[in-house]
Amino acid sequence: MNIGYIRVSSCGQRTDRQLEGIALDRVFMDKTSGKNMDRPEFQACLRALQAGDMLHVHSIDRLTRSLQDLLVILEDMADRNVTVKFYKENLIFSGESSPFQRLHLQIIGAVAEFERALIRERQREGIALAKQRGKYKGSKKRLTEDEIALLATRALKNKENILGLAREFGISRQTAYRYLQYARCRGLSCTAKVLPDMDELLSLLFENA
């Protein structure tokens, strides 16, 4: 099945130039920012995609504006045997790995790691400033290995909604995706009772990028 995803940032922007003239079986459209993946039509699109489908997107920035999210999406699509085609960049990513695709993913992963390093540096600066002002509340919740295994089972095997699971487990949607990546890397068979800190977790994830 050929599925299209269209996104504009506001209701006033035109959508007819995205994927114009392309034969599609279904189209999902969001009129919201692409800063994160918490978009109703995007989540519906992810749920609708099945093995063998192709996701058509006008350009990478229509799918997401975050390189971290892009890498997660592409890896998830490859795991599900879904092909993703970006028309503006003339790029195709599929579950059939090739040197060209691996190179692009490695480049995306490297740039995403640089982006995360900048974010972590800003976070450290923000924490230091918050501590000086007496407003620092500590780190966010971490899941135990049992909770990670349960999250992975419900998300990957039972196909439950990621956003709903994230709210249930008391974590953000992005953190939930990172835990799922961690679970994939470790095959749901870790021995430690508690995850390493987030910096160490991210380094573990991108050893496999």
Which residue carries 């922007």 as its tokens?
13
31: Cβ contacts below 8 Å, ≥ 6 apart: 7, 8, 9, 10, 11, 13
The secondary structure of 70-137, three-state, reads: HHHHHHHHHHCCCEEEECCCCEEECCCCCHHHHHHHHHHHHHHHHHHHHHHHHHHHHHHHHHHHCCCC
Give CA angle at 100 (94, 101), nearest 5°: 30
Beta-bridge partners for 55: 3, 84
Beta-bridge partners for 5: 28, 57
Residue 202: helix, strand or coil by DSSP?
helix
Residue 9 is among the residues annotated as catalytic for this protein: yes
Question: Among residues 9, 59, 66, 98, which one is catalytic?
Answer: 9
Give catalytic residues, as residue numbers: 9
